[in-house]
Amino acid sequence: MSLKKVNPTNTKSWENLSLHFSDIKKKHLDSLFKEDKKRKDNFTISFEDFEIDFSRNRITKETIQKLIALAKEVHLEDAIEKLYRGEEINETERRAVLHTILRSQESNVCKKNRERFYEVQNTLERIKYFSEEVNNGKWKGFSGKKITDIVNIGIGGSDLGPKMVVEALSNYKTELNTHFISNIDSDFLENYTQKLNPETTIFIVVSKSFSTLETKLNAEYFKNWFLKETNNATLKHNFIAVSTNTNACDTFGICKENIFPMWNWVGGRFSLWSAVGLSISLSIGFDNFKQLLEGADEMDTHFSSAPFEENIPVLLGLIGIWYNNFFNVDSELVIPYSQFLESFVPYLQQLSMESNGKSVDRNGDKIDYQTGTIVWGSVGTNSQHAYMQLIHQGTKLVPVDFIGFKNTMFGNTSLHKQFMANMYGQADALCFGKSKNKVHLDLKVDKKSEEISKVLPYKIFEGNKPSTIIMIDQLSPKSLGKLIAMYEHKVFVQGVIWNIFSFDQFGVELGKENSNKMISNLI
Ligand code: F6P
Q: Is the CB of 508 under 6 A from ligand 1?
A: yes
Instruction: Report how far residue 457's alpha carbon sits from residue 469's, in angstroms, rounded to the nearest whole number.
Output: 29
Among protein residues, the one whose CA lies closest to atom 3 of ligand 1: 156
pLDDT value for 466: 98
Residue 319 lies in a domain: yes
- Domain count of the chain? 2
pLDDT digits over 132-188, tens only?
Answer: 999 999 999 999 999 999 999 999 999 999 999 999 999 999 999 999 999 999 999
Please tell me the residue having the least CA distance from ligand 1 atom 16.
Answer: 207
Write the residue with the smallest CA distance to atom 6 of ligand 1. 268
Is 437 contained in some domain?
no
Helices (H) and strands (E) in the chain, counts: 21, 11
Q: Answer whether 268 contacts ligand 1 (Cβ < 6 A).
A: yes
Question: What average pLDDT score do residues 200-204 get?
Answer: 98
Indicate if ligand 1 lies below 6 Å from the C-beta of 207: yes
**In contact, 108 and 49? CB cutoff 8 Å:** no
Cβ atoms of 165 and 216 within 8 Å: the answer is no
Confidence of residue 417 (pLDDT cuts 50, 70, 90): very high
Domain holding 15: CATH number? 3.40.50.10490
Confidence at residue 1, expressed as pLDDT on a 0 to 100 scale: 85
- For residue 243, report the distance from its CA to the centre of ligand 1, in Å: 11
Pocket test for ligand 1, best of 181, 209, 503 (most atoms within 8 A of CB): 209
269 lines ligand 1 (CB under 6 A): yes
192 assigned to some structural domain: yes
Same domain, residue pair 13 and 127:
no
Instruction: Give the distance (Å) from ligand 1 centre to CA of residue 234.
Output: 28
The answer to whether the pTM exceeds 0.85 is yes
Nearest to residue 490, comparing CAs of 318, 298, 293, 296? 318
Please check whether residues 323 and 283 belong to one and the same domain: no
Ligand 1 center from residue 497 Cα (angstroms): 25
Q: Identify the sign of the CA torsion 355, 357, 362, 364.
A: negative
CA–CA separation, 345 and 335 (whole Å): 8
Q: Is the CB of 464 under 6 A from ligand 1?
A: no
311 C-alpha vs ligand 1 centroid, how far in Å?
A: 30
Angle at 133 between CA 128 and CA 134, to 5 degrees: 105
Stretch (H or E) spanning 515:
helix 509-522
**Interval between CA 273 and ligand 1 midpoint (Å):** 16
Whole-number pLDDT of residue 520: 74
396 with 256, same domain? no
Secondary structure E strands in 385-447: 400-405
Residues in the chain, how many? 523
Residue 449 located in a structural domain: no
pLDDT (0 to 100) of residue 194? 96
On the question of pLDDT at 125 being above 80, the answer is yes
Does residue 13's CB lie within 6 angstroms of at least one atom of ligand 1?
A: no
Domain that holds residue 317: 8-95+306-432+466-508
- Are 476 and 332 contained in the same domain? yes
pLDDT (average), residues 45-66:
98
28 Cβ partners below 8 Å, 6+ apart?
A: 463, 464
Residue 336 backbone phi and psi in degrees, to 5: -80, 130
The residue among 289, 315, 350 that closes a domain is 289
285 and 325 assigned to the same domain? no
Of 264, 289, 314, the one marking the end of a domain is 289
Residue 296 in domain: no
Output the pLDDT for position 523.
66
Residue 70 near residue 317 (C-beta atoms within 8 A):
no
User: Do 60 and 111 have their domain in common?
Assistant: no
Distance 157 CA to ligand 1 centre (A): 6
Q: Which amino acid is at 106?
A: E
CA torsion angle 114 117 121 122 (round to 10): 80
Q: How far apart are CA 493 and CA 314, in angstroms?
A: 6
Catalytic positions, please? 354, 385, 512
Q: State pLDDT tens for residues 203-255.
A: 999 999 999 999 999 999 999 999 999 999 999 999 999 999 999 999 999 99
Q: How far apart are CA 336 and CA 342, in angstroms?
A: 8
Each residue's pLDDT tens digit, 248-286: 999 999 999 999 999 999 999 999 999 999 999 999 999
Give the domain-ending residue among 256, 289, 322.
289
Q: What is the DSSP letter of 108?
A: G
Do 57 and 143 fall within a single domain? Answer: no
- Rounded to whole angstroms, how far apart are CA atoms 319 and 114? 35
Of 260, 249, 252, which is closest to residue 223 (Cα–Cα)?
A: 252
Judge if the beta carbon of residue 245 lies within 6 A of ligand 1.
Answer: no
Question: Is 188 in contact with 214 (CB distance < 8 Å)?
Answer: no
What would the mean pLDDT of 473-496 be, rounded to a whole number? 98
- Sorting pLDDT into bands at 50, 70 and 90, what band is 346? very high
Mean of pLDDT over the chain: 97
Same domain, 86 and 115: no
Tens digit of each residue's pLDDT (9 = 90 or more) over 286-304: 999 999 999 999 999 999 9
Handedness of CA 509, 512, 518, 521 (dihedral sign): negative
193 and 333 both lie in a single domain? no
pLDDT value at 104 more than 80: yes
**Confidence tier at 70 by pLDDT (50, 70, 90):** very high
Is ligand 1 within 6 A of the CB of residue 215?
yes
Cα distance between residue 350 and residue 345, in whole Å: 9
Domain identity same for 122 and 53? no
Compute the C-alpha angle 70/72/73, nearest 5°.
Answer: 65
Residue 514 domain flag: no
Please indicate, yes or no, if residue 461 is contained in any of the structural domains.
Answer: no
**Residue 327 CB contacts under 8 Å (≥ 6 apart), including other chains:** 21, 25, 58, 397
Residue 62 lies in a domain: yes
Answer yes or no: do 68 and 146 share one domain: no
Ligand 1 atom with minimal separation from the 505 CA: 6
CA of 519 to the centre of ligand 1 (A): 20
* Same structural domain, 141 and 83: no
Q: Is 157 in the pocket of ligand 1 (CB under 6 A)?
A: yes
The rounded distance, in Å, linking the Cα atoms of 452 and 439 is: 9
**What are the beta bridge partners of residue 239?**
203
User: Residue with the nearest Cα to atom 9 of ligand 1?
Assistant: 156
Looking at ligand 1, which atom is closest to the CA of residue 158? 14
Q: Which of 103, 13, 109, 39 is nearest to 308 (CA)?
A: 13
201-206 and 44-47 beta bridge pairing: unpaired
